[in-house]
Amino acid sequence: MAKMLRYIRGFGLVAVSVVLIAALLLGSVVPAKAAEEKVVKIGIHTALTGPLATTVVPAHYGIADYIKYVNEQGGIHGAKLQLEWENTGANITRCIIGHKRFSQAGVVFEMHSHPGGAELLAPRYQKEEIPGLFLATMTREMITYPERWVFAFLPGSGPEMVTFMKWVKDNWIEARPPRIALIGFDVSIAWEASEFGAEWAPKFGIEWTGCEIVPLVGCIDTSTEWLRLANKKPGWVFAYASMQVLVVIMKDAKRLEIQERGIKLCSHAASIDEILVRAVGVDASEGWFASRPHPSPVETDVPGVSLARDIIKKYRGLEEASSHYMGACAICSTIFEAIRLAIEKVGYQNLNGRAVRDAMVTIKDFIPFGQISPPVTITEERPYVVRDNKYYQIRDGKIWPYTDWIPYAYHYAELTKGR
């Protein structure tokens, strides 16, 4: 019996020793594997519900899908991308909550679907050294000094309005001067476009006939605003609205026969895409023009159109990628280029918001996603992705290119140089 107990005790010691040795060996392997896992986190203040969703949902899908695509290609220098998101919608105060969560998660970049959120957080981005980007147009309130901590896809609603008026004037053939008006939603970018329109119209020999602003939330009828504008007999009305509000504006324009009064209609960049055309209907969208920074699915000669179609089919089972889906991919490809440059300069272990911001303003002649726009160059003076746009026209439910690329006629960000 005593001999058996000694045997059991001996076996127990051997077993414990084996377990301890195995634990030590595993302990040395698991951390090594964990150390090999590289992750770069980016955040997006999205709008999957509410009045912004019509436009933002396809853009959100483009961002999420392109991240999957890049990760399957090996990531960025071996680091996988991870998307953090908060459904902040049109409630810009919720952006504070989203930003706190993103900051705690360790994101190195944030994106916004509402201009107010990017404007609100601009001072905090500068203080905490986390860069942000608005998915549409730059505003003056987003500009921080002396360095840019907020970027945008487009140069600004003011520059866009100036460019539109110049295009109208350059192609005007009538003896009388062109007359232009604006209808927009109650957001800073629409007010800024109206301000620039009134200021710059006389410089081009254009008569500015005023603007009408409608609510962002709860907009169900724009008849009064349309009739006031129509009575001033403009030749063009520029619509600075998007999403659900633009659906109402376009349907009301059709019902009130605005185009039949000899008035041409154009929407701003990042507004009309194929999903919105389906929501408005073929009849109500017919004849509208649109300023756009990215191609339409009908432009099959653009590599990015085919690439986006392949990506959305792979991840969502859809046959066609909308324009906003492609635009989001272009934005992401530019941000990812900044992350790539930052990793090359400081290394993955030292990657942070400051490194990505500094890399962002060194991007030069970068070819964005599938060549869907001219090469991208970003500087402190021009902190946005695109510098050119095209004008398109909707015919038979399709968005067709109407012009070639036109450089923006004005860049107010350059006024910040030296400040």
CA distance 327 to 62: 8
Output the pLDDT for position 5: 43
pLDDT of residue 55: 85
Tens digit of pLDDT for each residue in 237-267? Answer: 999 998 889 999 999 999 999 999 999 999 9
Specify the DSSP class assigned to residue 89: T
Q: Residue 231 is which amino acid?
A: N
Identify any residues that bridge with 397 across adjacent strands, giving them in sequence order: none
Q: Find the helix or strand (DSSP H, E) in which 399 lies.
A: strand 398-401
Element (H, E) at 3: helix 2-36
Tokens 């509000």 locate to 245
**Beta pairing, strands 150-154 & 398-401:** unpaired
Say how far residue 408 (Cα) sits from the centre of its chain: 18
Number of helices and strands (H, E) in the chain? 13, 13
What is the spatial distance between Cα 377 and Cα 387, in angstroms, rounded to a whole number? 9
Buried b / exposed e over 360-386, threshold 16 CB at 10 Å, is bbebeeeebbbebbeebebbbebbbbb
Does residue 419 have a pLDDT over 80?
Answer: no
Distance of alpha carbon 384 from alpha carbon 151, whole angstroms: 5
Which of 5-19, 291-305, 333-347, 350-364 shows the lowest mean pLDDT across its residues? 5-19
What distance in Å separates the CA atoms of residue 110 and residue 178, rounded to the nearest whole number? 41
> H or E stretch including 406?
strand 406-407
| Averaged pLDDT, 65-82 | 97
Does the pLDDT value for residue 23 go beyond 80?
Answer: no
Domains of the chain are 39-156+298-387 (3.40.50.2300), 158-292 (3.40.50.2300)
What is the Cα 187 distance to its own chain's centre? 16
pLDDT above 60: residue 417: no
How far does CA 23 lie from the centroid of its chain? 49
Tell me the DSSP string of 39-81: EEEEEEEE-SSSTTHHHHHHHHHHHHHHHHHHHHTTTBTTBEE
Q: Over the range 243-280, which residues count as b (16 or more CB within 10 Å of their CB) and which as e?
A: bbbbbbbbbbbbeeebeeeebbbbbbbbbbbbbbbebb
CA atoms within 13 A on the CB side of 348: 14
| Residue 350: Cβ within 10 Å count | 11
- Please count the other Cβ atoms lying within 10 Å of the Cβ belonging to residue 398: 15
Write out pLDDT tens, residues 193-243.
999 999 999 999 999 999 999 998 889 999 999 999 999 999 999 999 988
Residues 6-25 have a mean pLDDT of 43
Residue 181 belongs to what H/E stretch? strand 179-185
